[in-house]
Structure 1
């Protein structure tokens, strides 16, 4: 008998709107995550005290823990603190660092985890991956995805603009990651998951085609929902493939080679995606990616990330080593140092020309206005 359906682990609740944080206690109870409110809540040092005051009369049975830094040691410390008491669940309220630490701790303790995002920097809000710094640089750890996701647009509006717009680069890079996965399927026989591809691609296209910006609630809701769907696509696939290709290899290389010069993750993968489309010689997708990044004020060129062309070429050369066994356009072309440098130079010129055209200072034919 054929299998007529499959079971996909997905959040019980996804709430994206203003005031979502105030519904946390009710959601914990209504969804039987914690009817008593006996939960461990992890927060960051900046917004933690403010958030805690919000629940002065709610969740009185909860214990609060401050997360400082996004390292494996921080996550292990949180595990040791929480395991001293009995809790129904762990709630992470914060940005990507707090959520990644909390997801890891929840996995180690075997507790369900609720994610409350205070920025939209990347798709970790609903993903089955925790990215933490370790002695070797930075590592990705497989963890259960959150059982519930809340995105309070009031909190998002208070976040630094870069920490919100970074999520645009993250979600737009899905299109490049899917292209890498399709190439790996066609050329290497790697198995693909159509549902995961649909979730990753559709969420990215919704953001790319939305006319609004980070000051618009409608756009923020689309971005937040897209990042959630991107995380679920990885759950469906059982791998980060739907949202991680050459774009992320380049970002990981920056993290490892220049840890003191990291930009936001979404900013790095956005530039990586634009470069990957240039390597594929897919002009339409290159333009779409560059135009989207530029319109939202995100980095597009190596210099926008603080790197010279030779430095960026060295990053690209190192990038395949960050994901051994993963087939992307970088592995497909297998360029040597000299060709990489030439491609980086061409890419930089191409981006300059496209931005000038988008700004209206140069026509598509190259005529200066």
Structure 2
């Protein structure tokens, strides 16, 4: 009888602990990624400069590159800069924008990338996608996932609490995304990868049930691990399907229609997940999501992130256009703008009751 196996694309190493940042050079050497320390490090101009001052003495062979913003232009610029050197790896040290730029640049030059997260705002720390601003708004670019993940709990604990909360919103939204994927399977016959669903859903459930506050080190550990699981789930699926359903379509629509007013990604997808659960008739689940979002100070209605009912209605109506070919509860119901407005009014009433 043959033994069937599958190869699961995942990071070679994941370090989530206090003090991990100061051990960066040793971790890279121990993992045989860069024993000589010839690495390129992408950092931001703000907090990145402070971290460079702290780490530079321990990384004498590193070259440091400042990334101005999370745009495609910055990613292309970094690509051109690191192509002139000879490196073992590229380290993206910072928040989601820096890591997304680093993943894109590393893919272009054929270098492994190590994501060193200084906040936990979303699952980009491990995902096979770089989300970058471009002339047309915002684009998602397929890239290899990071070969390694480092999260220093001491560092992320000092990040703005809004960023930590946003990461929780992003992880919890997996539950809704997986439900949308399974809905598509039932209605359209789209194949579902059970392993990817198991990992993505577990990541969301771990945060949905965790009793800790944003100051709780155990919550930070759980969040970091959940974001890594989300990224691995996407690698397994070969797409963002296990972590991106109607919740993300709504968020992308807000970004497209109101680019200067959009909130944190995790804030938007958390709200989108609560509303998508409500539309699927999963009222108890929607209530649990709302309860957990509120517990961490996340928005549960559109006005809490600066959008009117009419604007949110427009975004939900436009949302399917952001992911052509993806089937979620929004495509299934095919609601008119009036239907969406009425459903949202019912949702708000349920949230406030």
TM class by shorter-chain length?
over 0.9
Q: Distance in 1 between matches of 2:86 and 2:352?
A: 57
Q: Give CA deviations for 1:234-282 in whole Å, capped at 9, x if unaligned.
A: 0011010000000000000000000000100000000000110110111
Aligned to 2:293: 293
Correspondence 1:91 to 2:102: no
Equivalent position SS for 2:157: helix
Instruction: Using the TM superposition, give the Cα deviation of residue 56 of structure 1 relative to its aligned residue in structure 2, in angstroms.
Output: 3.2
Instruction: Using the TM superposition, give the Cα deviation of residue 310 of structure 1 relative to its aligned residue in structure 2, in angstroms.
Output: 0.8
Aligned to 1:193: 193
Contact 1:169-1:266 within 8 A present in 2 as well: yes
Equivalent position SS for 1:25: helix
Residue ranges of structure 1 left out of the alignment (5+ in a row): 354-369
Q: Distance in 2 between matches of 1:150 and 1:170?
A: 19
Correspondence 1:181 to 2:173: no
Contact 1:213-1:220 within 8 A present in 2 as well: no
Instruction: Using the TM superposition, give the Cα deviation of residue 55 of structure 1 relative to its aligned residue in structure 2, in angstroms.
Output: 2.0
Q: Distance in 2 between matches of 1:149 and 1:348?
A: 39
| Number of aligned residue pairs | 353
Equivalent position SS for 1:43: strand
TM-score (norm 1): 0.94
Moved over 6 A (4+): none
Judging changes above 3 Å, is the alpha-carbon distance between structure 1 residues 92 and 311 closer, same or farther for their aligned structure 2 residues?
Answer: same
Q: Distance in 2 between matches of 1:27 and 1:17?
A: 12
Aligned to 1:356: none
Q: Distance in 1 between matches of 2:149 and 2:243?
A: 19
Instruction: Using the TM superposition, give the Cα deviation of residue 170 of structure 1 relative to its aligned residue in structure 2, in angstroms.
Output: 0.1
Instruction: Using the TM superposition, give the Cα deviation of residue 3 of structure 1 relative to its aligned residue in structure 2, in angstroms.
Output: 5.5
Equivalent position SS for 2:226: helix
Contact 1:121-1:163 within 8 A present in 2 as well: yes
Q: Which moved more, 1:227-236 or 1:48-57?
A: 48-57
Aligned to 1:279: 279
Aligned to 1:367: none
Equivalent position SS for 1:260: coil
Equivalent position SS for 1:9: coil
Q: Give CA deviations for 1:210-249 in whole Å, capped at 9, x if unaligned.
A: 1101100001100110011011100011010000000000
Aligned to 1:23: 23
Aligned to 1:337: 337
Equivalent position SS for 2:56: coil
Contact 1:302-1:348 within 8 A present in 2 as well: no
Aligned to 1:60: 60
Structure 2 matches for 1:102-117, cutoff 5 A?
Answer: 102-117=102-117
Q: Distance in 2 between matches of 1:55 and 1:318?
A: 45
Aligned to 1:254: 254
Q: Distance in 2 between matches of 1:112 and 1:72?
A: 19
Correspondence 1:351 to 2:347: no
Q: Distance in 2 between matches of 1:55 and 1:135?
A: 35
Contact 1:176-1:273 within 8 A present in 2 as well: yes
Instruction: Using the TM superposition, give the Cα deviation of residue 57 of structure 1 relative to its aligned residue in structure 2, in angstroms.
Output: 2.3
Judging changes above 3 Å, is the alpha-carbon distance between structure 1 residues 186 and 3 closer, same or farther for their aligned structure 2 residues?
Answer: farther
Aligned to 2:207: 207
Contact 1:96-1:124 within 8 A present in 2 as well: yes
TM-score (norm 2): 0.99
Correspondence 1:51 to 2:46: no
Correspondence 1:81 to 2:81: yes
Aligned to 1:72: 72
Instruction: Using the TM superposition, give the Cα deviation of residue 2 of structure 1 relative to its aligned residue in structure 2, in angstroms.
Output: 4.5
Q: Give CA deviations for 1:135-161 in whole Å, capped at 9, x if unaligned.
A: 111011100000000011111111111
